[in-house]
Amino acid sequence: MLCDVEVGKCADITQDEYSRFALYNRDVLFNRTNSFEWVGRTGMYYQNDNTKRTFASYLVKLVPNTNEILPEYLCTFLNSKFGVCDIKRRARQSINQTNVNPEEVKEIEIPILNMKLQEHIQKLFDLANEKRLESKRLYTAAEKLLLDELGLKDWHPENRNVNIKTLKDSFLSSGRLDAEYYQSKYDEIEQKLMLSNNVDVLGNVCWINTENVIPQTGISHKYIELANIKQNGEISGCTFDLGENLPTRARQVVKENQVMVSSVEGSLQSCALVSKEYDGAFCSTGFYVVKSDLINSETLLVLLKLEPIQQLFKKVCSGTILTAMNIEQFRNVLLPIPNREIQSEISSKIQKSFALKAESKRLLEEAKLMVEKEIEKTGEISE
């Protein structure tokens, strides 16, 4: 119920367009076009920084009359079982997507609960947002600590336009003829990593899952896919379905404290630490699932998401229609091994970060249950 503002997309629009589509603190965003499962998702937008943001055309901005209902209450109601039910019955399904007409959204009847309760809901949202921000600060602190330990803080490769390689040092050793692979920045990153006290290839540092498991027919399984991975390394949710209904790419089983790494270029940043909640879940074969005896799981997560390592992942990607890392390319990426003391400090920060995010989620769930119970008590809406 909180809008994710960790986005890298920008829109080239006029000032007039920005004036129409600008987002302001406490705006409510409604998703009018998506799959049937996700259409109608609603979130609160908080202006936590000075970045100017607009919203995509498949969203609708809702600005309530705060004399009647507060934005946090509106958002909570539309996420409650009553709001979701009303939205779904108005949804029109086609072959590839489901739509909810904004004009019909206006027709949704909303119980006007007392303002004291609404203000309490607002406080829960404010606290949830604060915990989310603190969670992000802790992750950033862990990342900076690791960069400093590896001598990579404020360091950037020069990335010269020309890089000269002999045949022996290029095609004969790598089998690659694409110019992208030989960009000088990759050499600079690898040379910088080699200065670390302890460095090896990923395949020697980590265990990589290679076992394929077929989901059992007639049994419900959790399934994690790319869309479920958040930018902070958290798994935000999963599909829960019978084994026979899961896609054919659902062939890996993940365990607690393993790290999932996307193998597909364009989503290499999608790395996540498997929490206890998702122990035993299936995940897509588009991920590599790894664990290490030399690097604790929290540090491994941060390390694999560091920009220099991400650049090396990008270097080894190959393919035409779908560019990705194959397992041998993945195994041979250089990986530094931080000292144990730094690893322990990073682990502590990441665990606290994840705990704060979980508490933020709990507060929002509390708000939703509070609204549902009050509506049931007052009899404003019948199921």
Domain locations in the chain as residue ranges: 15-114+360-378, 151-337
Q: Which residue spans within 228-345 are E strands per DSSP?
A: 239-242, 250-253, 259-262, 271-273, 282-284, 287-292, 334-336
- pLDDT at 380 (0 to 100): 59
Residue-by-residue DSSP string for 104-147? HHTT-------HHHHHHHHHHHHHHHHHHHHHHHHHHHHHHHHH
- pLDDT at 35 (0 to 100): 84
Distance of CA 214 to the CA centre of its chain: 26
- pLDDT at 383 (0 to 100): 46
Q: Residue 45 forms beta bridges with which residues?
A: 27
- Which CATH fold would you assign to the domain 151-337? Adenine-n6-DNA-methyltransferase TaqI; Chain A, domain 2 (3.90.220)
Q: Give the whole-angstrom CA distance, residue 45 versus residue 89.
A: 26
- pLDDT at 179 (0 to 100): 81
Bridge-based pairing state of the strands 282-284 and 271-273: unpaired
Q: Given the structure tokens 């940043």, which residue do they identify?
A: 269
Scored b (16 or more CB within 10 A) or e, 217-245 reads: eeeebbbbbeebbebbbbbeebbebebee
- pLDDT at 247 (0 to 100): 92
Give the chain's residues under pLDDT 50. Answer: 382-383
Q: Give the whole-angstrom CA distance, residue 55 versus residue 24.
A: 11
Give the global pTM: 0.87
- pLDDT at 382 (0 to 100): 47
Smallest Cα–Cα separation from 381: which of 79, 89, 81? 81
